Amino acid sequence: MTKQSAVVPEVVAPEAVVVTSQGLPCPLRPRIPIPASEGCRGFAHQEVPTEARNQQRREISSWVDSMKASSPTHIQGPPPPAQDEHPSALGMFEEIVSLSKGKKIVMFLDYDGTLSPIVDDPDRAYMSKAMRAAVRDVAKLFPTAIVSGRCRDKVYSFVRLAELYYAGSHGMDIKCPNLIKYEPLFETLPIFLGNKPVLFQPASEKMGLRWVLSFPIVSSSGVKVAGGEDEGHPGSRVENNRFCVSVHFRCVDEKRWVELAMQVRSVLHDFPKLRLTHVGQGKALEFLLESLVRLSDSNDVLPVYIGDDRTDEDAFKVLRERGQGFGILVSKVPKESHATYSLQEPSEVMDFLHRLVEWKRLSGKGHPRV
Ligand SMILES: O=P(O)(O)OC[C@H]1O[C@H](O[C@H]2O[C@H](CO)[C@@H](O)[C@H](O)[C@H]2O)[C@H](O)[C@@H](O)[C@@H]1O
C-alpha cells in the first residue's frame, strides 16, 4: 500500500456474517444439540450447560475478532504508509503489464468496497457514473466478471452493464453476458456462442432460504435477531442474497456483536441445510476460469482479481495456488492477504482501470490478446 501514518485512527467496520445454503465448512455450527422448536416462528428456549455456553462464546468471540480483522474499514485520518508486502498496483503498473506480455488479461471485480465505497445502508451502495464508464471501457478490451456476495439481480441493478459476467451469492449464481464479444478469445468454446446466457446455480432454492426469510429471525429468548425494527440489536439487518443471507453487524454497537452472532447461530439450528460461515469467492473464480471460459489450462491467460474483503481472499488464494495471475487487495490499512498488490480505495481502482485501458489502447489494436 502507499502512504500510511504510524497510528491510523480507524473504526473497524465488519463484513456481514453470511448464512449460506451451500454445504461449506461451518465453524459456528452448534456442537451441542439443541431441541428443535415447534414451528418456525418461535425458537424453544433451551438450557445450555454453562461450560458449553462459555466454550461457544469463546469460539464466537474469536470468530467475530477474525471477522473484524478481515473486514473493510472506515479510515478517519491520513492515508497509510507504503506496505511492502502488497505494493500499490498503480506504482507497479509497468511491472503488471509486463507480466501480461503474450497473455490475455481476464478481469474479476468484486463490487462492494471495490467498485462502490462501503456505506452503512447496503441498498445505497451506488456505483458512480465514472466508475461504470471505466468498467465498461475495460470490458470492451478484456473479458470482465463481477463477483459478489450479493444476489445477482441486485448487483446487476447497481452495475447495469449487460456485457459483463455476473457471479452473485458468492458464486452460487453465475450468468454470462447476453452478447459475447470475445469470440477471438473463446474460439474453442461453443458454449459462449449464439447469444445465449449461461447460468450456473450450484445451490438450490429448494433449500428453504426463502422460507426462512419469510419469517422474522427470532432468537431462542424471543428477541428478534435482525431485520427492520429490531429491539434486540438495533442497527442489525438481514439481507436476502437469494442463495445466502447476510446478517449485517456494521451499525450494531460493537459490544453486542458476540451476542448477536450467538443469537444468529442459535436461530439456525432448525435449518440444518443452512450454514453460518464466511464464504469465499474462490469457487466463483474457479468456475469462471474452468467451466465457463475454460482458460484454466491455458498458460496464456492472466486473471486479475480486485477485491476488498475476506471472501475475496479466497479468490486471491486460488490464484496464488494456481500460480496464475494475481490478486489486488483494496484496503487502506495493511492486512494479511494472498493478494500480490494493493489499491487503497475504489477511486484508485478506477485509476487502475483507466490505466489498463489507456495502456491497451496504446499498445494494441483493441484486440483482447496482448
Ligand atoms: O462480495 P461483495 O460484492 O463485496 O459483497 C459482500 C457484501 O457486500 C455488501 O455488504 C457490504 O457493503 C455494504 C454497503 O457498502 C455495507 O453496508 C456492509 O457493511 C458490507 O458488509 C452486501 O450488502 C452483502 O450482502 C455482501 O455479502
66-106 pLDDT, tens digit each: 767 666 544 444 444 445 689 999 999 999 999 888 888 99
DSSP string for residues in 295-319: -TT-TTEEEEEEE-SHHHHHHHHHH
% the chain with pLDDT above 90: 31
What domains does the chain contain, in order, with CATH numbers? 10-31+49-76+206-277 (no CATH), 93-203+281-363 (3.40.50.1000)
- Of 62-76, 150-164, 234-248, the range with the highest mean pLDDT is 150-164
Q: Cβ–Cβ contacts within 10 Å for residue 91, how many?
A: 14
How much is the pTM? 0.76
pLDDT higher than threshold 70 for residue 200: no
User: Do residues 170 and 284 lie in contact, with contact meaning Cβ atoms separated by under 8 Å?
Assistant: yes
Which residues are bridge partners to 342 per DSSP? 88, 329
pLDDT of residue 245: 77
- Mean pLDDT calculated for residue range 314-342: 93
Q: Ligand 1: which of 11, 12, 112 to mutate, judged by most atoms within 8 Å of the beta carbon?
A: 112
pLDDT of residue 20: 54
pLDDT higher than threshold 80 for residue 306: yes
Distance between CA atoms of residues 228 and 238, nearest Å:
8
Q: Give the number of the atom of ligand 1 that is nearest the alpha carbon of residue 239.
A: 25
Of 18-32, 83-97, 137-151, minimum mean pLDDT range: 18-32
pLDDT higher than threshold 80 for residue 255: yes
Q: Give the number of the atom of ligand 1 that is nearest the alpha carbon of residue 146.
A: 3
Sign of CA dihedral 216, 222, 227, 230: positive
Cell of 24: 461449506
Closest Cα to atom 4 of ligand 1:
112
pLDDT of residue 48: 62
- Mean pLDDT calculated for residue range 103-112: 93
Distance between CA atoms of residues 214 and 211, nearest Å:
5
Q: Cβ–Cβ contacts within 10 Å for residue 231, how many?
A: 7
- Residues 258-293 pLDDT 10s: 888 887 777 777 666 666 665 677 878 887 877 555
H-run or E-run covering 284: helix 282-287
pLDDT of residue 207: 44
pLDDT of residue 292: 52
Pocket of ligand 1 (CB under 6 A): 15-16, 18, 110-113, 118-120, 122, 125, 148-150, 239, 241, 246, 248, 250, 309, 311
Q: Separation of 15 CA from ligand 1 center, angstroms?
A: 7
Predicted ipTM > 0.90: yes
Distance between CA atoms of residues 341 and 327, nearest Å:
7
| Structure-model confidence comparison of residues 191 and 212, the more confident one | 212
How does residue 47 score in pLDDT terms, banded at 50, 70 and 90?
A: low
**Mean pLDDT (the chain, rounded):** 71
Alpha-carbon distance values, 160 to 53, 128, 131, 172, 211 (Å): 46, 12, 12, 20, 29
